[in-house]
Structure 1
Amino acid sequence: MTILRVLGSAAGGGFPQWNCNCRNCDGVRRGTVRATPRTQSSIALGDGDQNWIVVNASPDILAQLRSAPALQPARYPRDTGIAGVVLIDAQIDHVTGLLMLREHRQALPVYASTAVLDDLSTAFPLTRMLSYYCGLDTHTLPLDGTAFAVPPLENVALTAVPLESKAPPYSPSRNAHRLGDNIGLRIVNRQSGRHAFYAPGLARIEPHVFKELAEADVVLVDGTCWHDDELIALGFSTKTAADMGHLSQSGPGGMIETLDRLPAVRKVLIHINNTNPILDEESPQRRELEAHGIEVAYDGMEISL
């Protein structure tokens, strides 16, 4: 059995965001909005035998590990169930958690594309910084459709799927797309054949991406913003969701319309921004999702494959 556990379901900044007083953040603090706090986006994949792959190392990873006792099997005085970390991009909210794992007893296995490893060795030099601590044992992901595994989880087949989103703002390639700046992840249980597709950052539904969505048993996809101009309308930014590399849920060509085209698979939104009205469990937007058979991920959610 392969277990997919949502460690964190929010976008960068988490929910509530520390300095935000939007209706959602203020309401969850005051108890006037029915919503559940969330940490920043990450999932873990387990084989049922104390071994786990962490996909994206969020800045909240220490809190996430405390909330997931299975990832700390306590077999030795210093121990972890983490066999390796897979990165889908180099965004700060997906890689900063590597710094929190610096006490690892040996070099931490990290799997990422050439583009991501380049950013982490130059613009945001985590590989150099961590060389003074545990160090990183880096593995370059194939982008040609070849599956790979993270030992000892040989029955969990992973495939990196290049997709269109954005490199981090700090990256020299922010506005110059490189293959592998962003990937989705096909996750297959070799024994059952069931599989999931994980893409928390998704700017456009390219034909090969739609094929991945349509063939999966479970999809966990970008749920960042409800409206493309959500942050502009609130006065928080001058950028649209699309400018930041995210496809909004509502409107023509949005995520809801896309997911409606899929067969009867399990459809889950993840990487949800603190401003998104779907966080309010009593909102009309949340009811609209439910009418379309779309779930909203939450920290601690588990899916069996």
Structure 2
Amino acid sequence: MKIKVLGSSAGGGFPQWNCNCSNCDGVRRGTVKATRRSQSSIAVSENGEDWLLVNASPDLLAQIAANPELQPARRARDSGIAAVLVIDAQIDHVTGLLMLRERDTPLPLHATDAVWQDLTSGFPIAPILSHYCGVEHRRIALDGAPLAVDALPGVQIDALPLSSKAPPYSPHRNAPELGDNIGLLFTNRQTGKRAFYAPGLGAIEPHVLEAMRKADLLLVDGTLWTADEMIRLGLSKKTSADMGHLQQSGPGGMIEVLDSLGTPDTRKVLIHINNTNPILVEDGPERRILGEHGIEVAHDGMTFEL
């Protein structure tokens, strides 16, 4: 089982187009040691040719160009993207679906009922694509049964509901529904190795902690360093919890959670990193703290084999 990080940034990318925080300004000017990142997405494959795209970011075309295995060129028009799975209906995870409109067959799209409702109403991408390639909805039932993904017959995929808010345009923004946001546990049936992916984690619920304990690779929420990061910078009035994310530092933060999990061989990787997060500075004190705890920072192009 191969897992490739296509994009490792939170919504807006890094640097964000209109942001002049010290990180964004510094990477533009070359005054901080940091690497540009596109918006959060991964791809999973068994054979290296047929891939499940997990989240379709607005940067999808650039991500395909940067990863030739997603364009195997087996015929006149071709793609390594065999299917797409979206974990929520947020703009930074679904807008890229529109970039796949030139397909010559309907796009297999795995989504929960709550997310599918958003994609057919509040943000009607599915009806728009019906005028182009069309969309074949593959329902994620959240009934405890593993997902069936044709392109990954040797990989078991378990979807876990997460506590989160639906997007602002969702019909149930203020009345959360089961399936507004999910995490994914991938298991290689041959090796038994597991990967847990959850770029948005607002709370570590018991069933989530159980899945994280099973994983050999953790790709989890790295959005903000502190709960009040955006407020202190004058960029937002929302805390990390208000945004549906668990901060990394401090009591109950992601570092503390990850310290309690795994073995010395467990890979612990933060993904979905906001442009304001000081861990983006590669020689900064926050990055050193992560290193002391055995925690890595995802970057575009990062690849894992399990």
Range class of TM-score, shorter chain: over 0.9
Aligned AA for 1:40?
Q
The answer to whether structure 1 residue 298 and structure 2 residue 299 are counterparts is yes
| Partner of residue 199, structure 2 | 200
The answer to whether structure 1 residue 287 and structure 2 residue 274 are counterparts is no
* Displacement after TM superposition at 1:49 (Å): 4.3
User: Is the 2:220–2:270 contact (alpha carbons within 8 Å) kept by the matching residues of 1?
Assistant: yes
The CA distance in 2 between the partners of 1:3 and 1:276, in whole Å, is: 28
The answer to whether structure 1 residue 69 and structure 2 residue 68 are counterparts is yes
| Partner of residue 153, structure 1 | 152
Matched position secondary structure for 2:242: helix
* Displacement after TM superposition at 1:152 (Å): 2.8
User: Is the 1:83–1:150 contact (alpha carbons within 8 Å) kept by the matching residues of 2?
Assistant: no
Aligned AA for 1:22?
C
* Displacement after TM superposition at 1:141 (Å): 0.3
User: What is the TM-score normalised by the length of structure 2?
Assistant: 0.98
Aligned AA for 1:104?
R
The answer to whether structure 1 residue 241 and structure 2 residue 236 are counterparts is no
User: Is the 2:14–2:24 contact (alpha carbons within 8 Å) kept by the matching residues of 1?
Assistant: yes
Matched position secondary structure for 2:117: helix
The CA distance in 2 between the partners of 1:194 and 1:149, in whole Å, is: 18
The CA distance in 1 between the partners of 2:142 and 2:272, in whole Å, is: 23
**Percent identity, aligned pairs only?**
63
Matched position secondary structure for 1:161: strand
The answer to whether structure 1 residue 270 and structure 2 residue 267 are counterparts is no
Query: What does the per-residue CA deviation read over 1:1-55, in whole Å, with 9 as the maximum and x for residues that have no partner?
Result: x100000000000000000000000000000000000000000001124110000
The CA distance in 2 between the partners of 1:299 and 1:11, in whole Å, is: 12
User: Is the 2:216–2:262 contact (alpha carbons within 8 Å) kept by the matching residues of 1?
Assistant: no
The CA distance in 1 between the partners of 2:66 and 2:47, in whole Å, is: 17
User: Is the 2:2–2:48 contact (alpha carbons within 8 Å) kept by the matching residues of 1?
Assistant: no
* Displacement after TM superposition at 1:297 (Å): 0.3
| Partner of residue 91, structure 1 | 90
Cα RMSD, aligned residues only: 0.8
* Displacement after TM superposition at 1:222 (Å): 0.4
The CA distance in 2 between the partners of 1:229 and 1:283, in whole Å, is: 19
* Displacement after TM superposition at 1:233 (Å): 0.5
| Partner of residue 9, structure 1 | 8
Query: What does the per-residue CA deviation read over 1:254-295, in whole Å, with 9 as the maximum and x for residues that have no partner?
Result: 100000000212100000000000000011110000000000
| Partner of residue 259, structure 1 | 258
| Partner of residue 189, structure 1 | 188
The CA distance in 1 between the partners of 2:164 and 2:39, in whole Å, is: 18
User: Is the 1:90–1:168 contact (alpha carbons within 8 Å) kept by the matching residues of 2?
Assistant: yes
CA shift in 2, pair 1:49/1:291, >3 Å: closer
Q: Which moved more, 1:267-276 or 1:171-180?
A: 171-180
* Displacement after TM superposition at 1:157 (Å): 1.4
| Partner of residue 164, structure 1 | 163
The CA distance in 1 between the partners of 2:269 and 2:70, in whole Å, is: 23
| Partner of residue 107, structure 2 | 108
Aligned length: 304
Aligned AA for 2:256?
E
Aligned AA for 2:155?
V
Structure 1 unmatched runs, 5+: none
Runs ≥4 in structure 1, deviation > 3 angstroms? none
Structure 2 unmatched runs, 5+: none
The CA distance in 2 between the partners of 1:156 and 1:61, in whole Å, is: 24
Query: What does the per-residue CA deviation read over 1:61-120, in whole Å, with 9 as the maximum and x for residues that have no partner?
Result: 000000110111101110001110001000000000000110011100000000000000
The answer to whether structure 1 residue 35 and structure 2 residue 28 are counterparts is no
The CA distance in 1 between the partners of 2:203 and 2:112, in whole Å, is: 20
The CA distance in 1 between the partners of 2:248 and 2:48, in whole Å, is: 37
The CA distance in 2 between the partners of 1:50 and 1:222, in whole Å, is: 28
Matched position secondary structure for 1:134: coil
